């Protein structure tokens, strides 16, 4: 079959057997609207913007219509067929065919090259000079690329190309067998052979072996891997490191294809398409009875809005919004006799110029909607143009122009010309593009709106750029696992009418309720207690709930209201039976004016504060009574770390003019660390793929190590071992700025003196300054066994500023070396590119070396030294050194020892890290151990030393009988000057038991404890997850009971924060319940259990039922009183022959929290396909909803019915007629009856013209009639 997975790195997909590839291009900025599906008759393309299909065939320029590999590289679509390899810009369709003299088995993309591998060996395409070069001659079956290596599966084992040292090495840890396929997940690489398979753990650099997998299809979800083997689905579970049958769908007929998403699993079977929901374990079957034209499905895929099901004759696609299946026929391309004007798969053609085929491709789209209600007309309009005009000469020279306004804020337009390889003018482009240089990076890469031209003569070329720069180079820096933040507040920024004093001293926590009258009758709701008297004051009171609307600090007797109140509000607290007036006309002295909100989740020991006046004078914190112990820091009793606010001891810490007249006198500057998994970049949106992220001088890989949201600038690391508590994180990226107008001009000749030597002198004008630059390259042939490469760079400006850089990369037998030196004048342009944490880079030198003196033994070393100069002209030296020795024999205990030292201007850091792995196999029992020990010492001036000692142990086990699982333990201690200030413990375990036939158990337990230690107390943050599931299959006891499948489960989730615990408080090793303590700060708790069953008494009947009982609550300072939520679900599907498909479902949910709520839904559906061109569907829905407030109940019920008929004229033209209605009734409201007729027509009137007309009326007995009409016209070429 074919492979379907989420693309998180630049990757291509390879066909398995003879079935289609479904390739989602959503990760590529230039083609994000497309889904590509390969068929025997070309590549079908679905445009999600217009919902229209297109096709790419040999008419466009494909070598062959049957594509075996497809991938995207920054808007360039690459394909491989049995007869050749080709590429084209998706915006221009300018196809170019490459003759690689054999069959291509893999394509891999990176920043500089496109790698192609097959029976001809390994070759790569240099994107800058656009020429192929041979890398290795051996036959290759598949390839995959990540940030560090390009991996190759060959007939004699695994080979990888080391990007750092530009060398090819055979992987001795893997067996020397003929591997056929490579599959990547975030943490593992799988290498598949007929009789065996091996997996490489990327983070631990560990190899594991498994039995062979002869797969027909696969899909990945995180590190879980699902494969189809002989029609059965198997799953790799990373937690237990084991393969097992996917039991939830064991009884399905022959599975042909599979695709996984975060919510659903799609299974293409001979009897239809099955959509399995992870959370509820329900499944939905699509077949010819409810919308499909074919029952036998061979491939499937799902995105946010569509489901695709591929059969041998059609591609059927399901619109989730309209619940309607449509079909696109797979048929041979129709040959057309060329005429003056004609249409075919390649677009609209015009033969107006001799030997030139003018093609109009793309679409133009216009939609207008109008709604008429009570003589009011609302009109909305939307248009979209995405067109390209391509001129193809008989000589195969191509000129193209394009315009795309899909993004109304960032319109795209441009021009492109591509000549033949022997032409002098080989390439010209205009529009939005990126600047590029050959082996030269002293001038950064910018996004441009301008033009680019490439001229060739023999082996020489000339590259020219000109245009406005549309991006900025940025640098952001972070430290450690949390995010460092700063905040400036004025003395006038206290939270008025938010915090209230209840009384002096601590108060007991039993029960409390807050009553507030906002003195506005218009804001009263169903729960408002009108004319209610409390504490002797009559008013219209709203009831506020502790933990949702307000919080109480019982130790300090302070109440915090989440919504800021007004001075006129009446606020009464009912506390333990006592009425306390916090605010009224006569009580105004309980409002606190000494509290400043900073932000939640402050990490203890990280908070610092400075207070200055308007003249800049710095005051001691003790002047404001914040520092009783004189250590220069705010004392812990004045900070609420969990809620994130600072309380001054004095009721008015600043002069009265601050509070009475709003005069600003003092400024407070805070710096602190938050316990957040995310890092927020300062500038966004971000130019895609422009980021370079390093942690402790190590470059990270997108998708494997981190995820970056280019729109919001949010960075998330994917592995816990990437960042330590003291890691230095540096993020370089380009932010988009379409309003930037300064210009860049460049001219760079590339002179090839010989096969080994290239030189590129040039000049660039940037920001009105000329930069004269030079680069060269001296190297051996890339396919040589011993390699050498030397790249010098230099630059000089009109202002006599200079920069130079030298890179040396060499590999000789088992020794590899990569060395670099850079130097910059202070005023050299582009300071942001040279920005470092302690200043701007002046000089740097780095050397990395690796040697393998013995088989399975590798020694690595690295040294880097930088000279940075800050704005005060102070010189800072940054130095990083590390050495690593690794033993890699997979059959023996193996691992590594890493020693490093970082000398930084503000501190020195020493690290030692040891890793040990061993796979113990004895008596049919396997235990895989992984142990990591890490000690980091951070020494700062003034005798301040921080130390982090961390160790973890991970053991995965499988016994001779069906019992397997894993155990993971991590302990991290942090010290300040030999005094422990933080303790982190993480414990997780999972177990899978299949000992008793018919009973399968899966359990998972995880808890995380973090202790923050202070001088006399400690805070404790704990999190718990506990899940148990038991599957019961009576059919394994007695075959006739296979009609029944049962499951039950129990789960518990807890997040609790305790404060001011005694130092001798002992944290529990295991816990399943909250720690009931008077020191509770916050708690979030949820518990649930479920029982579900599925009955299939006959083939045509399926009955599924589930009962769920759950409790959840979120409170602050008090233990929660969780109320139950009960849910009962029933679903019946019956398909009695030719009568159609009947579906009925029942769903009842009872919520006992406030407000109490009962919801019931009863749904029935009948659908019948009378023929391929006529279908009918009848649906009935009954809904009942009751909400019980303190003073009143609200009941509503509704009945809806709808009958729909679909009449199809051609595969792309159909009309849907429907007529429905509803009866709706709500407490104290008149019963509403409505009739809802409508029609929807999708018409493909001409080959290129699509019309969609929709009309719907809602004729109500209570509300004004509403008529909605819309029309959409699309021209597709």
Is the predicted pLDDT of residue 642 greater than 50, yes or no?
yes
- For residue 620, the SS3 value is coil
Closest to 188 measured CA to CA, from 197, 196, 176: 197
The pLDDT value given to residue 946: 84
How many other CB atoms sit within 10 Å of the CB of residue 304?
Answer: 9
Facing residues of 478 across strands? 729
Q: How confident is residue 675, by pLDDT bands cut at 50, 70 and 90? A: low
Half-sphere exposure of 9 (CA within 13 A, CB side): 20
Contact 565, 584 (CB under 8 A): no
Report the pLDDT value the prediction gives residue 3, as an integer from 0 to 100: 31
b/e string for 410-445 if b means 16 or more Cβ within 10 A? eebebebbbbeeeeeebbbbbbbbbbbbbbbebbbb
pLDDT at position 1, please? 31
pLDDT of residue 486: 82
pLDDT of residue 877: 94
Which one, of 654, 719, 16, 35, lies nearest residue 315 by Cα?
A: 35
What is the pLDDT, as a whole number, of residue 186?
84
What is the mean pLDDT of the segment spanning 72-79? 90
Range scoring the smallest mean pLDDT among 297-311, 436-450, 999-1013, 1065-1079: 1065-1079
Span 420-464, pLDDT tens digits: 888 899 899 999 888 888 888 888 888 899 999 999 888 889 999
Quote the longest CA-to-CA distance of the chain: 99
More confident residue, 673 or 586: 586
Q: Measured between alpha carbons, how far is 125 from 80 in angstroms, rounded to an integer?
A: 14
- The single-letter DSSP state of residue 1265 is P
pLDDT at residue 300 is higher than 90: yes
CA distance 885 to 894: 11
Averaged pLDDT for residues 400-411: 83
What does the pLDDT average to over 1110-1130? 82
Residue 30 scores a pLDDT above 80: no
State yes or no: pLDDT of 340 exceeds 50.
yes
Which is nearest to 95 in space by CA: 428, 418, 432? 418
Distances (CA, A) of 1254 to 125, 377, 896, 964, 1274: 50, 16, 67, 57, 15
Mean pLDDT of 825-830: 92
Q: CA-CA distance, 1119 to 262, in Å (whole number)?
A: 34
How sure is the predictor about 862, in pLDDT bands with cuts at 50, 70 and 90?
A: very high
Domain ranges of the chain: 215-325, 341-359+376-455, 474-479+677-721, 483-494+596-675, 495-592
pLDDT in tens, 239-248: 778 888 887 7
Q: Is residue 685 reached through a cis peptide bond, with omega within 30 degrees of 0 on the bond before it?
A: yes
Provide mean pLDDT across the span 177-185.
93
Residue 714 confidence (pLDDT): 87
Contact in structure between 130 and 118 (CB atoms under 8 Å): no
Per-residue DSSP letter, 444: P
Pairwise CA distance, residues 649 & 235, whole Å: 60
Q: Where are any strands of DSSP class E within 483-577?
A: 483-490, 499-501, 512-517, 529-534, 537-544, 550-553, 558-561, 570-575
Other beta carbons within 10 Å of 305: 12
DSSP letter at 375? T
Question: Whole-number mean pLDDT of the chain?
Answer: 88
Q: Confidence class of residue 943 from pLDDT cuts 50, 70 and 90?
A: low
Please name which of 764, 776, 768 lies closest in space to residue 804, comparing C-alpha atoms.
Answer: 776
Q: Quick check: 6 pLDDT over 70? A: no
Task: Note whether 942 and 917 are within 8 A (CB).
Answer: no
Average pLDDT over residues 728-755: 91
Q: Taking the complete model, does pTM exceed 0.85, yes or no?
A: no
pLDDT, average across residues 138-150: 92
State the average pLDDT over residues 281-289. 85
pLDDT the model gives residue 5 = 28
Residue-wise pLDDT for 1031-1076, tens only, equals 888 887 887 887 888 999 999 999 888 888 887 787 777 788 888 7
Q: In what order do the strands lie in the sheet with 196-201?
A: 181-184, 188-192, 196-201, 206-211
> CA neighbours within 13 Å on the CB side: how many for 1066?
3
Residue 281 structure tokens? 């374990």
pLDDT band at 1252 (very low <50, low <70, confident <90, very high): very high
Q: What pLDDT shows up at residue 1058? A: 85
Pick the CATH number of 215-325 from 2.60.40.290, 2.130.10.10, 3.30.1130.10, 3.40.50.2000: 2.130.10.10
In the chain the first and final C-alpha atoms are separated, in Å, by: 31
Q: Where do we find the tokens 């597709």?
A: 1276
Q: Measured between alpha carbons, how far is 295 from 271 in angstroms, rounded to an integer?
A: 5
SS3 content of the chain, % helix, strand, coil (to 5): 5, 60, 35
Per-residue CA distances from 583 to 176, 522, 590 (Å): 80, 21, 7
Would you say the C-alpha torsion 130, 163, 179, 240 has a positive or negative sign?
negative
Distance in angstroms (rounded) separating the CA atoms of residues 402 and 391? 12
Q: Tens digit of pLDDT for each residue in 703-734?
A: 778 888 888 888 888 776 788 777 888 999 99
**990 close to 964: Cβ distance less than 8 angstroms:** no
Q: How confident is the model at residue 510 (pLDDT cuts 50, 70, 90)?
A: low
Is the pLDDT score of 311 beyond 80?
yes
């Amino acid at each position: 079959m074919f492979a379907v997975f989420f693309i998180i790195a630049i990757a291509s997909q390879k066909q398995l057997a003879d079935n289609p590839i479904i390739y989602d291009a959503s990760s590529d900025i230039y083609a994000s609207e497309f889904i590509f599906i390969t068929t025997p008759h070309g590549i079908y393309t679905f445009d999600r913007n217009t919902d229209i299909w297109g096709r790419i065939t040999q008419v466009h320029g494909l070598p062959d219509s049957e594509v075996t590999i497809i991938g995207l590289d920054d808007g360039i679509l690459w394909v491989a067929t049995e007869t050749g390899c080709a590429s084209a810009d998706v915006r221009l369709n300018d196809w170019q065919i490459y003759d690689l003299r054999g069959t291509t088995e893999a394509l891999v993309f990176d920043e500089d090259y496109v790698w192609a591998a097959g029976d001809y060996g390994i070759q790569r395409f240099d994107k800058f000079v656009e020429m192929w070069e041979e890398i290795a001659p051996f036959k290759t079956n598949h390839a995959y690329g990540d940030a560090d290596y390009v991996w190759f599966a060959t007939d004699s084992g695994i080979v990888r190309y080391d990007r750092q040292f530009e060398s090819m090495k055979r992987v001795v840890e893997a067996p020397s067998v003929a591997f056929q396929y490579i599959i990547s997940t975030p943490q593992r690489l799988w290498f598949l052979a007929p009789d065996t398979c091996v997996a490489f753990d990327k983070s631990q650099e560990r190899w594991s072996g498994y039995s062979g997998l002869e797969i027909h299809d696969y899909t990945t979800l995180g590190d879980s891997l699902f494969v189809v083997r002989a029609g059965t689905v198997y799953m790799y579970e990373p937690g237990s490191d084991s393969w097992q049958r996917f039991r939830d769908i064991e009884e399905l007929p022959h599975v042909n294809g599979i695709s996984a998403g975060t919510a659903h699993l799609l299974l293409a079977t001979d009897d239809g398409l099955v959509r399995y929901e992870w959370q509820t374990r329900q499944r939905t079957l699509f077949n010819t009875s409810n919308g499909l034209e074919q029952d036998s499905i061979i491939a499937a895929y799902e995105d946010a809005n569509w489901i695709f099901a591929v059969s041998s004759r059609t591609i059927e696609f399901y619109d989730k919004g309209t619940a309607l299946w449509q079909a696109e026929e797979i048929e041979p391309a129709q040959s057309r006799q060329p005429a003056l004007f004609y249409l075919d798969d390649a677009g609209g053609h015009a033969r107006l110029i001799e030997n030139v085929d003018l093609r109009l491709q793309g679409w133009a789209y216009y939609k207008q909607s109008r709604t008429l209600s009570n003589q009011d007309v609302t009109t909305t309009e939307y248009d979209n143009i995405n067109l390209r005009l391509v001129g193809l000469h008989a000589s195969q020279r191509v000129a193209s122009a394009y315009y795309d306004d899909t993004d109304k804020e960032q319109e795209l337009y441009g021009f492109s010309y591509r000549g033949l390889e022997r032409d002098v003018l080989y390439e010209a482009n205009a529009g939005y593009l990126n600047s590029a240089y050959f082996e030269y990076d002293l001038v950064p890469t910018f996004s441009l709106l301008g033009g680019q031209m490439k001229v060739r003569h023999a082996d020489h070329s000339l590259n020219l750029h000109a245009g406005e720069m549309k991006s900025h180079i940025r640098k952001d820096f972070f430290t450690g696992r949390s995010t460092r933040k700063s905040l400036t507040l004025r003395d006038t920024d206290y939270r008025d009418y938010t915090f209230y004093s209840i009384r002096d001293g601590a108060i007991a926590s039993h029960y409390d309720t807050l009553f507030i009258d906002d003195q506005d009758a218009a804001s009263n709701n169903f729960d408002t207690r009108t004319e209610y008297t409390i504490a002797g004051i009559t008013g219209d009171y709203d009831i506020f709930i502790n933990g949702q609307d307000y919080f109480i600090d019982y130790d300090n007797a302070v109440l915090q209201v989440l919504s800021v109140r007004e001075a006129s509000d009446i606020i009464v607290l009912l506390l333990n039976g006592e009425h306390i007036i916090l605010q009224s006309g006569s009580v105004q002295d309980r409002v606190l004016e000494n509290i400043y909100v900073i932000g939640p989740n402050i990490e203890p020991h990280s908070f610092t504060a400075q207070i200055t006046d308007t003249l800049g004078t710095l005051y001691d914190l003790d002047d404001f009574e914040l520092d009783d112990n004189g250590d220069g820091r705010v004392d812990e009793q004045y900070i609420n770390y969990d809620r994130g606010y600072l309380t001054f001891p004095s009721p008015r810490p600043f002069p009265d003019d601050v509070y009475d007249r709003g005069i600003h006198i003092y400024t407070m500057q805070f710096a602190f660390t938050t316990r957040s998994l995310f890092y927020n970049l300062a500038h966004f949106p971000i130019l895609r793929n422009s980021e370079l992220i390093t942690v402790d001088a190590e470059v990270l890989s997108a998708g494997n190590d981190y995820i970056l949201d280019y729109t919001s600038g949010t960075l998330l690391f994917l592995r816990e071992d990437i960042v330590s508590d003291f890691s230095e994180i540096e993020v370089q990226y380009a932010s988009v700025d379409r309003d930037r107008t300064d210009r860049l001009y460049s001219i760079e000749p590339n002179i090839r003196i010989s096969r080994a030597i290239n030189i590129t002198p040039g000049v660039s004008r940037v920001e009105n300054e000329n930069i004269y630059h030079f680069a060269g390259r001296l190297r051996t042939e890339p396919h040589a066994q011993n390699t050498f490469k030397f790249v010098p760079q230099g630059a000089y400006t009109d202002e006599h500023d200079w920069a130079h850089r030298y890179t040396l990369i060499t590999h000789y037998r088992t020794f590899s070396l990569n060395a670099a030196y850079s130097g910059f004048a202070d005023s050299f342009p582009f300071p942001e590119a040279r920005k470092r944490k302690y200043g701007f880079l002046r000089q740097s030198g780095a050397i990395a070396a690796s040697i393998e003196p013995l088989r399975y033994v590798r020694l690595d070393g690295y040294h880097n030294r930088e000279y940075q100069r800050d704005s005060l002209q102070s010189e800072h030296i940054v130095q990083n050194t590390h050495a690593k020795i690794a033993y890699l024999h997979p059959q023996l205990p193996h691992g590594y020892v890493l020693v490093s030292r970082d000398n930084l201007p503000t501190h020195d850091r020493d690290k030692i890290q040891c890793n040990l792995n061993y796979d113990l196999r004895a008596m049919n029992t396997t235990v895989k151990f992984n142990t990591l020990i890490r000690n980091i010492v951070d020494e700062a001036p003034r005798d301040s030393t921080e130390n982090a000692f961390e160790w973890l142990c991970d053991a995965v086990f499988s016994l001779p009988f069906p019992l397997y699982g894993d155990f993971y333990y991590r302990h991290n201690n942090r010290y300040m000057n030999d005094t422990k200030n933080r303790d982190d413990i993480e414990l997780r375990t999972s177990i899978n038991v299949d000992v008793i036939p018919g009973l399968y158990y899966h359990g998972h337990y995880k808890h995380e404890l973090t202790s923050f230690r202070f001088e006399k107390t400690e805070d404790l943050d704990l999190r718990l997850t506990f899940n148990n599931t038991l599957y019961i299959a009576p059919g394994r006891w007695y075959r006739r009971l296979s009609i029944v499948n049962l499951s039950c489960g129990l789960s518990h989730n807890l997040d609790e924060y305790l404060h001011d615990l005694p130092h001798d408080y002992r944290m529990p090793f295991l816990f399943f319940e909250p720690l009931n303590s008077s020191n509770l700060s916050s708690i979030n708790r949820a518990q649930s259990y479920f029982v579900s069953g599925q009955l299939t008494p006959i083939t045509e009947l399926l009955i599924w039922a589930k009962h769920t009982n759950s409790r959840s609550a979120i409170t602050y300072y008090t233990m929660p009183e969780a109320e139950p939520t009960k849910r009962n679900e029933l679903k019946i599907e019956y398909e009695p022959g030719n009568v159609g498909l009947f579906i009925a479902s029942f769903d009842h949910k009872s919520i006992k929290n406030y407000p109490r709520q009962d919801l019931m839904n009863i749904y029935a559906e009948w659908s019948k396909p009378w023929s391929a061109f006529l279908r009918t569907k009848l649906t009935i829905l009954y809904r009942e909803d009751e909400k019980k407030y303190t003073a009143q109940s609200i009941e509503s019920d509704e009945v809806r019915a709808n009958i729909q008929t679909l009449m199809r004229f051609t595969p792309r033209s159909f009309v849907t007629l429907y007529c429905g209605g509803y009866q709706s009734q709500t407490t104290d409201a008149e019963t509403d009856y409505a009739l809802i007729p409508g029609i929807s027509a999708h018409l493909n009137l001409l080959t290129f013209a699509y019309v969609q007309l929709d009309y719907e009326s809602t004729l109500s007995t209570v509300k004004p009639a509403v008529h909605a009409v819309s029309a959409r016209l699309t021209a597709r070429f």
